[in-house]
Amino acid sequence: MTFGEFVREKRLNVNLGLREFCEHAEVDSSNWSKVERDRLPVTADREKLEMIAQLIGLEKGTSDWHTFFDLASLSQQKVPQDIYSDEEVLEVLPIFFRTVRGDKPKPEELDKLIELIKHR
Amino acid sequence: MLGASVPVNVDVISEKCFDLIFIPIPGMTKWVNSEAYITGNLKEMHFDQLANQVRLRFSIAHELGHAVLHTTQIKQLRSGTFDEWKEIIEDLPDGVWGRAEFQAREFAGRLLVPFEILMQEILKLKPKIDKAKTIPNIEQDALAQYVASAVCRQFDVSSQVIVARIKSEAIDLLSV
**Given this model, what pLDDT does residue B149 score?**
97
| ipTM, two decimals | 0.92
pLDDT per residue of chain B (176 residues) written in tens, 0 to 9: 555 799 999 999 999 999 999 999 988 999 999 999 999 999 999 999 999 999 999 999 999 999 999 999 999 998 999 999 999 999 989 898 899 999 999 999 999 999 999 999 999 999 999 999 999 999 999 999 999 999 999 999 999 999 999 999 999 999 98
Bridging pattern class, strands B44-47 and B36-38: antiparallel
Q: What is the pLDDT of residues B93-124, one digit of tens each?
A: 989 889 999 999 999 999 999 999 999 999 99
- Asked if B46 has any chain A CB less than 8 Å from its own CB, the reply is yes
Cis peptide before B7 (omega within 30 of 0): yes
C-alpha B169/C-alpha B158 separation (Å) is 17
pLDDT at A81 over 80: no
> Which one-letter amino acid corresponds to residue B156?
D
State how far Cα B81 lies from the chain centre.
31
Model confidence, pTM? 0.93
Q: What angle do CA B75, B112, B144 make, to 5 degrees?
A: 125
- Asked if B96 has any chain A CB less than 8 Å from its own CB, the reply is no
Provide the phi-psi class of B20: left if phi over 0, else alpha when psi is between -120 and 50, else beta.
Answer: beta
Cβ contacts (< 8 Å) between B164 and chain A: which residues?
none
**Given this model, what pLDDT does residue A99 score?**
86
Q: Are A89 and B86 in contact (CB under 8 A)?
A: no
User: Of chain B residues 132-161, which have a CB less than 8 A from chain A?
Assistant: none
Using DSSP, state whether B155 is helix, strand or coil. Answer: helix
Cα torsion A106, A112, A114, A116: sign: negative
Q: How far is A74 from chain B (nearest CA, A)?
A: 22
Q: Are A42 and A76 in contact (CB under 8 A)?
A: yes
Q: Are A18 and B22 in contact (CB under 8 A)?
A: yes
What residue spans of chain B are helical by DSSP H?
10-12, 28-32, 53-69, 71-76, 82-91, 94-112, 115-124, 126-133, 140-155, 159-168
Q: Are B154 and B121 in contact (CB under 8 A)?
A: yes
Using DSSP, state whether A27 is helix, strand or coil. Answer: coil
Mutate to test the interface with A, among B48, B85, B88 (most CBs of A within 10 A): B85
C-alpha A86/C-alpha A117 separation (Å) is 10
Ranges of each domain in chain B = 10-112, 115-168
CATH number of B10-112: 1.10.10
Q: Quick one: pLDDT band at residue A15, thresholds 50, 70, 90?
A: very high
Number of helices followed by number of strands (H, E) in chain A: 7, 0
**Given this model, what pLDDT does residue A57 score?**
98
For residue B46, give the DSSP letter: E
Q: What angle do CA B40, B22, A39 make, to 5 degrees?
A: 95
